[in-house]
Amino acid sequence: MEKVDLDKMSPEDLELSIKQTKLLFKFNHTEPMTEEYSALLNELLDGNIGENSTITTTFAGAAFDHMKIGNNVFINSNCLAMARGEITIEDDVMLAGNVQLLSNNHDEYERQVLLCEKIVIKKGAWIGAGASIMPGVTVGKYAIVGAGAIVTKDVPDYSVVVGIPAKVIKTLEKDKFDE
């Protein structure tokens, strides 16, 4: 787990944060599916977005330079990506609307200290509407996270999880997926 003290950010980190905030605003207010829209998204993510991947507005979060998105990824509207602890989204992933990817949390006693742990969403996973993925969680290959779930522990490959906290309710048939 990495700790980041927000009171001790370097001038360069503060400048990057301001730049990303302004880029995010511009992205959220640009006509979708245009060259400008794609260029702003690419700049916001520091070039870490694969081919044929889409994020629809509105998009929110922080530390987008700590986010990596694979090919053929679809992220629907109102995604919150708090990426200070890193977020990796592999190929062919779908995120429904209102999904939260929270790779950091605040220390209980030192609220300006972020406790950061990487989130990984593996190939072909599908995250349902309103789900929250918490710090340190890996969502397995072709797994499904049900709408509204709060995922606090790793999700095995080919599993379906639902609830608060999310629990496995089903295992999908591996041979039904093209790999």
**What sign has the CA pseudo-torsion 134, 61, 12, 108?**
negative
Predicted TM-score of the model (pTM) = 0.96
CATH code assigned at 107: 2.160.10.10
Question: Per residue in 64-88, pLDDT tens?
Answer: 999 999 999 999 999 999 999 999 9
Q: What pLDDT, on a 0 to 100 scale, did the predictor assign at position 179? A: 77
- Would 144 be classed as within a structural domain? yes
Q: Whole domain around residue 146: which residue ranges?
A: 2-173
CA 67 to chain centre: 7
66 included as an active-site residue: no
Confidence of residue 178 (pLDDT cuts 50, 70, 90): confident
- What's the residue count for the chain? 179
The verdict on residue 11 lying in a domain is: yes
For residue range 88-106, list pLDDT tens digits in order.
Answer: 999 999 999 999 999 999 9
Choosing from 3, 19, 29, 106, the catalytic residue is 106
Total number of domains in the chain: 1
- Is 179 within a domain? no
